[in-house]
Amino acid sequence: MEEKKTTSSPPLHRHHSKRRQPARISTRHLLIRRAVAVLAGAVLATGSFLPAANAQDVPADQAPGAQLPGEAPAPADAPAPQQDPDQPWLDPSLPPAERADLLVAAMTLEQKVTLLIQSGGPGLPELGIPPIRSKDGCCGLALESTPTTALPVGVGLASTFNPRLAQAYGHVSGEEARTTGYNAIAGPTMDLVRTPYNGRMWEDLGEDPLLSGDTATNQVIGEQDAQVSSLVKHYNLNNFETRRGHVDVVVDERTLQETYTRPWASVVQEGNAGAVMCSFNKVNGEFACGNDTLLNQILKSQLGFEGFVSSDFNAAHSFADYAAGLDVAGPGDEFSGNNLLQAVLAGTVPEERITDAARRVALTMFQFGIVDNPPPGSFENPQPAEPPIPDTLLDQHAGVAEQVAAQAAVLLKNDGALPLDDAVPSIGLIGADVDWYIDGGGSGAIPNPARLTTILDGITARAGGTVETAAGTDPVSLADTIPGPPPVPSGVLTNVNAEYRLGLNNFEGEPELARTEEQVNLRTGISNDTINTSQVPGIGPVLASQPMSARWTGTIVAPATASYTFSLTNLGAAQLFLDDQQVITNPAPTLETQEITLDLTEGQSVAVRIDYTTDAPNQFNGGLNDQPGAMIRFGWTPPEDVLAPDMAEAVELAANSAVAVVVARDYTGEAADRGSLTLPQDQDRLISAVTAANPNTIVVLATSGPVTMPWIDQVPAVLETWYPGQSQGITVAGLLFGDINPSGKLPVTFPVSDEQAVTVGPPNPFDLISIVDPVVEYTEGVFVGYKAYLAADAVPLFPFGHGLSYTEFDYSRLHTTQRVNPDAEEPKASVSLKVRNTGNAAGRETVQVYVGPLPGDVPTPPKQLAGYGSITLEPGERGRLEIKLDPRSLQYWDVETGGWVTPTGTVPIYVGSSVEDIRLEGSITIGCGRPDHGKHDHSHGHGKGHGHGHGDQAGHGNWDRDRGHWGNKGRWGQRDDGGRQHWASYRHGRG
């Protein structure tokens, strides 16, 4: 469940001392700790799917305390499994479905209702059944009480195009959840990326249904192999955060099925997900958690989902939701517990519906070993504190985090500047967060990473020369998702004091909160005031969730003689006073920007006072979960040749360094979409200024998703690492010095500009913040992401699937299936090709196969991903890939028949390194080859087996559909070490 925890907000200080930094590995112990992690990773690699670490010959039984997947010991408080004739459901030899039937037949109504308590329930110890206990975990287990493994975020996992690695990723979260007492983990987050402005797209798995479904399915398999249930979220069409609890998404049947349900079919039918979380939003007029079409007709009937549906945080709206397919509501008890019991007794909720819901929960618990081998503390009530995760397990999991981060990074541009030479004498490392843990906010964030190395740690440990740092800008925060001019930097706006009081227009008396701050830049919400990993602390949930007033005072010190534009961007009334003169009054019932121009001489001081009150209509409607909340920024637009002091310091460092590395990032999170794709805190100006001072400038992006890059032609190399998790320092250093050869591919399209993003794609959902009950029509239909760019003949900044390497690959000898049987329930087709490494470095290439427009009159995308495969080759080495095409890529959803149909005729085949970089072309023929010779209908209930068997195939193992694992027992393939071998080489000397 997306639990919301409150963290205290310490006083604000400058830069890297602003917030308590999570514990991290010191530079001194960096390589020692990593060696231990690699060795421990070999133990995990003996399981059925986890990739082997370097020490491949270390057997599991020689590792102290090693525990194989699926072999967790039973906790001391667990009732012993038995074959009591009075409790036959505890017989582990019986099939899970039979055990669930036996259990519910013996349960009273009260016991059934008790089992359905989402959070804090006692379970049924008298029957040997533990309560539901779940925890957030899209990208690792989200605990504050004890350190956990911070994995790279979901968009990074999708960038690997590696199903096996997704299983390893999921197993880390599942194993840590079980170890700390949880039997379900809320993840993966598989909301298809419809818009790059989505504040949670870093949790998501890309914009393509095939890739998203594949990645999520394998993450689920990995999670559940650890004997916990996945709670996959958010079903369905939760594609943006703004007004998520009120918005009504209007979508046609074909788009719903072909684009947004397709990934869920894979998760349900291939991943066998134990539970699904229904989303906050409405779909076609009905809330998702009470939507009969989504839950009963599609999820449970069409897809055959046998697990249970659990609501997002208090996302149930009525007892009628149970009839619509909801099984578990919470965590509040408005529609659960005794209230649900009384509703059943009153006839409001049919008892047979509760019996079915209880059976679904029981089935999931039996199926994944939760009853036979419950997590520790399962029968203690209330739930005990989470025990610490053993160091040996954290070390094992650190190896997986490194492998994912290594394969997730995408080299966007390289004009020969990378990799860096070992002998580079000096590096100027620039960025406000180079020595900070980079993550997002909200329930997907990992607040307490167990094995953290910052980018400064990693580069300092790896570089042979000197490494000096400069912040360049102020750190980012949730306020930087507000569009408009950048905030006045702390070196220009000085001595800022802030006072916060409850109530409107309340600027006198004892404040609720008083502190010094660096900028006037505030956006309240979950990702700022409850779960916040940025350096800038929030103001806390009390002030953030109700009307309040704030006053800031400070002093502007002009950095140069010039004409400056200052601005207020705000929602709710604000006033700006300069030297006690009111110069801006902005009532702002909706978000607005007002500006004033001021001529200042260098060193001139101007007193500043800003009064702000949150009086916009409906500013707190929906609570922290859904409200616009407080939004205000004191911004500026200086002349192009004027730099703030921190930026000028960074430029000087760059000029005096052999190489400059700029780490640019954003900060987004739950309940907060981005207002712009522009890098926040004026980082575009920073990059341009640094590059002008030193042409040898490398830009490392650590962003939630696409950003615009007006400086792209100025810099020689750009590397996207997303939010890279706890191994960010090890990963970035390895990538920069060539110890890791980048192999990631973009799972999302990068637009050229904000204008292009909203012209080709849908409008920015941020614009809905002031609409209480917005209605959003998905008029683009199936043309989502790169499919929209292709249909519009628009050229993005970087296309879907793009990603460079330090070597080059040649494609040749394409062979395709000659003819496809249109009468098959799942039309089978494949392609094969030769791939040769023509460069000087070993590398991993992901080959993508796209189908062109399908035959007939139904509009289909110019290209859509149909399959992919990866191969790792030494310099000069050649290998063959065979890639099976996903059957759905040869079909479309037919509204008339209510199912998938296979049109007959010729289908173009495109094979390339991205959707734009096509290297080989061919075709396949469906049926007799004459378009529209017949429209072949297939029941929409089919779909098992879709979308797999195309990852890391060339001699790397075969997909075992019955077991759901790679049949080679974790063999990682021909040097496909995911970025591990290079560190061994580094430790023992390169070459």
Closest CA to 728 of 703, 705, 748: 703
Q: Where residue 70 falls among pLDDT bands split at 50, 70, 90?
A: very low
Q: How far apart are CA 295 and CA 484, in angstroms?
A: 41
pLDDT at residue 347 in the model: 98
What torsion do the CA atoms of 155, 161, 162, 167 make, to the nearest 10 degrees? 40
CATH number for the domain running over 807-954: 2.60.40.10
> Under a CB-based contact definition with an 8 Å cutoff, are residues 114 and 120 in contact?
no
State the DSSP code for 667. Answer: -
Say if residue 725's pLDDT is above 70.
yes
For residue 310, the Cα-to-chain-centroid distance in whole angstroms is 21
Lowest mean pLDDT among 1-5, 717-721, 782-786: 1-5
Q: Please work out, in degrees rounded to the nearest 5, the angle formed at the alpha carbon of residue 511 by the alpha carbons of 510 and 517.
A: 140
Say if residue 968's pLDDT is above 70.
no
pLDDT at residue 11 in the model: 28
Q: How far apart are CA 262 and CA 308, in angstroms?
A: 19
Closest CA to 420 of 456, 468, 463: 463
Say if residue 80's pLDDT is above 90.
no
How does pLDDT run across 356-374, given as a tens digit for each residue? 999 999 999 999 999 999 9
What torsion do the CA atoms of 681, 687, 689, 695 make, to the nearest 10 degrees? 170
Q: Where residue 47 falls among pLDDT bands split at 50, 70, 90?
A: very low
Peptide bond into 234 cis (omega under 30): yes
pLDDT at residue 10 in the model: 28
How does pLDDT run across 489-504, given as a tens digit for each residue? 999 999 999 999 999 9
> Under a CB-based contact definition with an 8 Å cutoff, are residues 580 and 607 in contact?
yes
Tokens at 380, concatenated: 């203690």
pLDDT at residue 988 in the model: 25
List b or e across 762-801, with b for residues whose CB sees 16 or more CB atoms inside 10 angstroms.
bebbbbbbbbeebebebebbbbbbbbbbbbeeeebbbbbb
pLDDT at residue 84 in the model: 83
pLDDT at residue 77 in the model: 56
In angstroms, the Cα distances linking 151 to 169, 424, 526, 727, 865 are 8, 30, 21, 8, 26
Q: Please work out, in degrees rounded to the nearest 5, the angle formed at the alpha carbon of residue 611 by the alpha carbons of 608 and 615.
A: 155
pLDDT at residue 885 in the model: 98
Closest CA to 241 of 312, 328, 322, 137: 312
Q: Where residue 928 falls among pLDDT bands split at 50, 70, 90?
A: confident
Give the type of residue at 644. A
pLDDT at residue 343 in the model: 98
DSSP per-residue codes, 670-705: TTB--S-SSPSTTHHHHHHHHHHH-S-EEEEEE-SS
Closest CA to 661 of 599, 756, 732: 732
How does pLDDT run across 843-854, given as a tens digit for each residue? 999 999 999 999
Say if residue 199's pLDDT is above 70.
yes
Cα distance between the two ends of the chain: 49
How does pLDDT run across 574-612, given as a tens digit for each residue? 999 999 999 999 999 999 999 999 999 999 999 999 999
Cα four-point dihedral sign 730, 734, 736, 741? negative
Q: How far apart are CA 963 and CA 941, in angstroms?
A: 22
How does pLDDT run across 530-565, given as a tens digit for each residue? 999 999 999 999 999 999 999 999 999 999 999 999
Taking residues 804-810, what's their average pLDDT? 98
Q: Where residue 513 falls among pLDDT bands split at 50, 70, 90?
A: very high
Q: Hey, is 721 helix, strand or coil?
A: coil
pLDDT at residue 21 in the model: 56
pLDDT at residue 825 in the model: 86
Say if residue 124's pLDDT is above 90.
yes
Closest CA to 433 of 128, 753, 663: 663
List b or e across 551-585, with b for residues whose CB sees 16 or more CB atoms inside 10 angstroms.
bbbbebbbbbeeebebbbbbbbbbbbebeeeeebe
Tokens at 490, concatenated: 């702390």
Whole-structure pTM value: 0.90
Phi-psi category of 46—alpha, beta or left, where left has phi over 0 and alpha has psi -120 to 50?
A: alpha
Q: Report whether CATH 2.60.120.260 matches the domain 513-638.
A: yes
DSSP per-residue codes, 354-374: HHHHHHHHHHHHHHTTTTTSP
Burial class (CB in 10 A: 0-12, 13-18, 19+), 635: buried
Q: Where residue 332 falls among pLDDT bands split at 50, 70, 90?
A: very high
Question: How many other CB atoms are there within 10 angstroms of residue 946's CB atom?
Answer: 21
Give the type of residue at 738. G
Q: Which helix (H) or strand (E) holds 457?
A: helix 455-462
HSE-CB of 228 using CA atoms within 13 angstroms:
37
pLDDT at residue 78 in the model: 55
Give the type of residue at 365. M
Q: Where residue 940 falls among pLDDT bands split at 50, 70, 90?
A: very low
Q: Where residue 632 falls among pLDDT bands split at 50, 70, 90?
A: very high
Give the type of residue at 233. K
Altogether, the residues listed in the chain come to a count of 991
With a pLDDT cut of 70, the percent of the chain lying above it is 85
Residue of 82 and 883 predicted with greater confidence: 883
Cα four-point dihedral sign 213, 215, 217, 220? negative
> Taking the domains of the chain in order of start, what are their residue ranges?
513-638, 807-954
Taking residues 801-818, what's their average pLDDT? 97
